[in-house]
Structure formats: C-alpha cells, structure tokens
C-alpha cells in the first residue's frame, strides 16, 4: 500500500485523536466518584432496609401498646364498677361480698401486670425511636455524600463529553481526507492492537510496541520508498517515518 509521507503524518494526527478519545473514555469509566457512588448506594440501601425494619418494629409495638391500653381500660372499668357496687352497701350476702373483694384484688393484680408490661413497651418504644433517629440521621448523611458524588460525577461527565465531542468533530473532519484503504487498514490494526493502529518510528524504536527495530528491519524500512506504507515487524502497526527516525 502506498500513501505520500504527508498523508502518513496525517494518519498520526488521526491516531492522536483516537488515543485522546480512548483516554477520555477511560477517564469516564474510571471517575473516582463512580466508586464512591457505588459504595454509598450500598450503604444507603442497607440503612434504608434497617430503617424499614425499625419502623416495622415501632408499628408492631404501637399496635401492642394500644391493645394493652385497651385491656387496661377494660380492667379499670371493671374494677370501678365492682368498687361502686362494693361502696354502695347494697351487697348483704357475705359470700358475694367476699367474691367481689377477691375479684377486685384479682383485677388490681391484673392491672399491675398490664401496666408493668405497658411500661416495658414504652421503654422499648423509646429505644426504638432512638435507633430510628440514629439510623435516619446516618442515612441522611450518607445520602448527602451520595448526592454530592453524583453531582461531581455529572460535572465530570459533562467536561469529558464536551472534550470528546470536540475530538470527534475533529476526527470526522480529518478521516474523510485520508485514503479509504489506508484508514481501513489503520482501523483493522487499531482494533487488534489496543487502540493503536499507527505509530512513529523514533530513533529506530517503534512507539507502538516500544521495541527497537533490528538492523535488518531497519535497513528494510530505510530502503522502502517514502510513499510506501511500512509496518513494524514486531507489532504489525503502521510505522510512520519522521525526521527523528534515525534512518
């Protein structure tokens, strides 16, 4: 394949644009904020699950407290009713009087047990409220860090995308000015060679694979016509000769 030396040098310009685009894509993939976002998202999700669990416990405990309160009210009402009967002086039967007094004592004991249980649940509710406040506070703090990282990511993406857009426009303007067969060969090599399809020969060293050409290879390159498209024998990339090639 042949291409005049100026065209081959412009192929290096195309390579520089493509390498720049590859570096920008790598920067976009490796933005440090992405790792922060992934880690903070996991923490927020975990804290949210903990918050939901505690809220469920608080809800269940609230229902249990209401049932207890209702039962305590019933016991108190029953005791008040029995006490009014007892205080009325209308009960003359000793056995009935004894039974009523025994029931009042039983109701008092039952009320004491229920009130103790209600107090325990009240203390448990206070503890759960404290846990919930701590969890929501921690979740809000991590969420704020996540939001800040997302904003930084978006700003980073915008900057990188703007730079990539400029380089793509330059590439779109340059590529059609080069011979199609040369660009096709370059693209084929680039796809198989970590994004580098063309490299300078500088001081007898290929800048693609960074290996120095052997004496025989160097003589062959030096003997090639200036418009001959030569390739590195080691990495098979297009080798562009320059004033610094050392030929």
Average pLDDT over residues 201-206: 93
- pLDDT at site 21: 98
Between CA 7 and CA 178 the distance in angstroms is 7
- pLDDT at site 115: 94
Give the residue numbers spanning the domain of 215. Answer: 5-25+179-241
- 172 within some domain: no
Average pLDDT over residues 173-182: 96
CB contact set of 192 (below 8 Å; sequence gap of 6+)? none
Average pLDDT over residues 46-61: 97
Residues 90 and 16 grouped into a single domain: no
- 247 within some domain: no
| Per-residue pLDDT tens over the stretch 215-236 | 898 899 989 999 999 999 999 9
- 115 within some domain: yes
Is residue 139 very low, low, confident or very high in pLDDT (cuts 50, 70, 90)? very high
pLDDT exceeds cutoff 90 at 62: yes
- pLDDT at site 72: 95
- pLDDT at site 118: 95
Mean pLDDT (the chain) is: 94
| Per-residue pLDDT tens over the stretch 4-47 | 999 999 999 999 999 999 999 999 999 999 999 999 999 999 99
- Can you say whether residue 179 is alpha, beta or left, with left for phi > 0 and alpha for psi between -120 and 50 degrees? beta
Residues 123 and 192 grouped into a single domain: no
Residues 145 and 235 grouped into a single domain: no
Count of CB atoms situated within 10 Å of the CB of 105: 11
- pLDDT at site 34: 97
Residues 149 and 206 grouped into a single domain: no
Residues 12 and 105 grouped into a single domain: no
- Among 138, 163, 188, identify where a domain stops: 163
Residues 43 and 141 grouped into a single domain: yes
Residues 226 and 186 grouped into a single domain: yes
- pLDDT at site 167: 97
Residues 43 and 158 grouped into a single domain: yes
Total domains in the fold of the chain:
2
- pLDDT at site 130: 97
Angstrom distances, CA of residue 58 to CA of 17, 132, 139, 168, 217: 60, 9, 18, 57, 80
Prediction pTM value: 0.77
CB contact set of 124 (below 8 Å; sequence gap of 6+)? 61
pLDDT exceeds cutoff 90 at 53: yes
Q: Concatenated DSSP letters for 84-149?
A: HHHHHT----HHHHHHHHHHHHHHHHHHHHHHHHHHHHHHHHHHHHHHHHHHHHHHHHHHHHHHHH
Is residue 243 very low, low, confident or very high in pLDDT (cuts 50, 70, 90)? confident
């Amino acid at each position: 394949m042949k291409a005049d030396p100026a065209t081959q040098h412009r192929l290096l310009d195309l390579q520089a644009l493509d390498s720049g685009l590859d570096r920008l894509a790598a920067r976009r993939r490796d933005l440090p904020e992405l790792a922060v976002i992934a880690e903070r998202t996991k923490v927020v999700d975990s804290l949210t699950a903990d918050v939901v669990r505690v809220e469920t416990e608080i809800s269940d405990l609230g229902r249990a407290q209401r049932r207890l309160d209702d039962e305590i009210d019933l016991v108190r009402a029953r005791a008040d009713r029995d006490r009014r009967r007892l205080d009325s002086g209308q009960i003359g039967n000793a056995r009935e009087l004894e039974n009523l007094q025994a029931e009042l004592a039983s109701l008092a004991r039952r009320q004491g047990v229920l009130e103790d249980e209600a107090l325990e649940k009240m203390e448990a509710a206070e503890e759960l409220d404290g846990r919930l406040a701590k969890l929501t506070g921690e979740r809000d703090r991590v969420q704020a860090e996540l939001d800040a990282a997302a904003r930084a990511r978006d700003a980073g993406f915008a900057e990188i995308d703007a730079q990539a857009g400029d380089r793509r426009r330059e590439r779109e303007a340059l590529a059609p000015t080069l011979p199609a067969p040369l660009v096709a060969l370059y693209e084929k090599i680039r796809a198989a060679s970590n994004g580098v399809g063309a490299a300078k020969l500088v001081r007898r060293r290929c800048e693609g694979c960074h290996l120095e050409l052997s004496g025989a290879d160097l003589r062959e390159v030096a003997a090639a016509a200036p418009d001959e498209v030569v390739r590195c024998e080691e990495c098979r990339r297009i080798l562009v000769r320059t004033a610094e090639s050392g030929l």
